[in-house]
Chains A and B, each alone.
Chain A
């Protein structure tokens, strides 16, 4: 097991374009989280899946954002009609839940120009 994998590592896109990021969690982890981190800030929670069910969404997740975890394994985060304010590091984490901690991926850095 190589940990939590995120692709791509970097993405530069023009304003108004759609982008999609992928996260592959640790295989036995049933919980998957997406966070967003801007410069100088701690990560902020976006959304959470338990298996394939999306159980919680932050108010930060506007209508332009959508996340899926179709078979309870990998997850995708799509941003439609990107804006410059979407520029950030998008982090994925997975967990077994309960008393276990979280394992984070290396993140996808999005730059909207």
Chain B
């Protein structure tokens, strides 16, 4: 059974600092991995999607890497800002059937980030 773990559970940093959030998964046979942001009481916003054949994806100040063989992904946030304060969730899906469709996502519990000004 796939399990997704995110470390740390919470992180507080001053504005401007670079930071790394970690995600690990027990079954390396994933189809893709997706990072989401969730503001308190809100839904999920997709940040980055990495296919199993890819090593990293970048969007603005965000960079996500994937090491499928070791079951790890990291989300790097450069020059953090107070507006980055939120919970960051990592989720994986598995290949389903010959059409290579992804299965439902399996989530970690998230890392709650607080960036102080």
Contacts and interface: CB of A to CB of B under 8 A. Distances in A.
The answer to whether A and B interact is yes
Interface residues of B, number: 26
Contacts of B102: 95, 97-99
Contacts of B49: 100-101
A101 B107 CA distance: 14
- From B4, B42, B44, B45, name the one whose CB has the most chain A CB atoms within 10 angstroms: B44
B43 A42 contact: no
A40 interface: yes
A107 B107 contact: no
Interface in A34-88: 35, 40-45, 48, 56
Interface string A81-113: 000000001010101011111111111010000
Interface in B91-112: 91, 99-110
Given A41-B109, A45-B104, A48-B104, A101 B32 contact: yes
A33 interface: yes
Chain B contact residues: helix, strand, loop or mixed: strand
Contacts of B108: 42
B18 interface: no
Interface in B23-66: 32, 34, 36, 41-46, 49, 51
Nearest to A106: B43
Closest 5 CB pairs of A and B: A42-B107, A101-B49, A106-B43, A104-B44, A45-B104
Interface of B: 4, 32, 34, 36, 41-46, 49, 51, 89, 91, 99-110
